[in-house]
Amino acid sequence: MRSIILDCDPGGDDAVALLMALSAPNILELKGVTTISGNASLEWIHTNARKVCELAGRRDVRVFAGCSSALLRPAVNASFCHGNDGLAGASLPMPTMPLEKQHAVDFLIQSLEEAKEPLTLAMTAPITNLAVALCKAPHIADLIKEVVWMGGAIGTGNITPAAEFNAYVDPHALAVVLSRKVPLRMIGLHITHQVTTSTPWMARLRAQGTNVARQVAGILEVEAEADKARYNLGGRAIHDACVIASLLRPELFTWAPASISVSTEDNASLGATLVSTYPCHLDEAPHAYVATQVDAHGVLELILSCMAFYRQEDQKQVVGF
């Protein structure tokens, strides 16, 4: 059993990650969901996180609102992909479960301080909440089991030629986190662009016949249009699912110790992650690792398995992978 906090900006692929995390209660204990502006405004993001928890039948999940802006950069969103409300393609009712009153940053700090076992921070968004938490309580750096972050890229970005979206929205936050040398696993675009939907895969998802499957298929179909037009992908890259997949089935990913830095220069390089796995560039005891390979078919099969958890007859069972 691994205890995690999911820090996210749903966003369709964040929604898949959240549904995956909730589909494996015998493997992952979700301590809470912290939210951050990114794919859409913070108000939509924490609303969407609660919509997805209610879709999963989990009104008990604690959802926290985090920072409503990046440390320095002006607001950027991904409405071109996720729509103005952040969940294009879904038709979910407004949530009735409450938003927690505590700020996400304070929840992160308190949870790390009180955890019996070190927590894993599964992060699928701009990394502002963690950066602010580290500035407010530097000692938490030693309390984190590891951060698994979808972000950055080895090579071409997506929001700009140089930068991946989560790094680009708040490059200064990423620089803060990297400077504190917390244990970090980075899953970049070079990996997540391989985990892409296909027509047969979408048909298998829809064939599950649940509301979860219908909603996820609706989201991924809409988001796929942007990925096909902008990046010549064959379908929708389910970026954030890779974070939870790496926790559920670590064997699907290959890692290398890495030196990671980020450009904070206000020019064409802004948000670019500069990654080297060369031994000469590594610290004595590397704290950062980058995913170098993924079994994309295995991840896509895992996503279908996780979504199948939401068939009524399965929800009572404990699912293994």
- Active site members: 239
CB-wise, 124 or 210, nearer to Ca ion? Answer: 124
Tokens of 164: 């991946």
Question: Do residues 143 and 112 lie in contact, with contact meaning Cβ atoms separated by under 8 Å?
Answer: yes
Site string for ligand RIB, 171-210 (x = CB under 6 A): ----------------------------------------
Range 209-268, binding Ca ion (CB under 5 A):
240
Residue among 85, 146, 164, 170 that touches ligand RIB (CB under 6 A): 164
In sequence order, what E strands does the chain have?
A: 2-8, 28-35, 63-65, 119-123, 144-150, 184-187, 253-257, 259-262, 273-276, 288-294
Residue among 11, 171, 218, 235 that touches ligand RIB (CB under 6 A): 11
CA–CA gap between residue 144 and residue 115 (Å, rounded): 10
Question: Do residues 189 and 196 lie in contact, with contact meaning Cβ atoms separated by under 8 Å?
Answer: no
CB-wise, 190 or 249, nearer to ligand RIB? Answer: 190
What residues form DSSP beta bridges with 35? 8, 65
Per-position DSSP letters for 30-80, written without gaps between them: EEEEEE-SSSS-HHHHHHHHHHHHHHTT-TTS-EEE--SS-SSSPP---HH
The piece of 96-104, 124-132, 200-208, 230-238 that touches Ca ion (CB under 5 A) is 124-132
Residue among 48, 120, 129, 166 that touches ligand RIB (CB under 6 A): 166
Q: Which residue is nearest to ligand RIB (CB)?
A: 165
Question: Residue 223, interface with ligand RIB (CB under 6 A)?
Answer: no
Binding site for ligand RIB (CB under 6 A): 9, 11, 13-14, 38-39, 78, 124-125, 150, 158, 164-166, 239-240
Binding site for Ca ion (CB under 5 A): 9, 11, 14, 124-125, 240
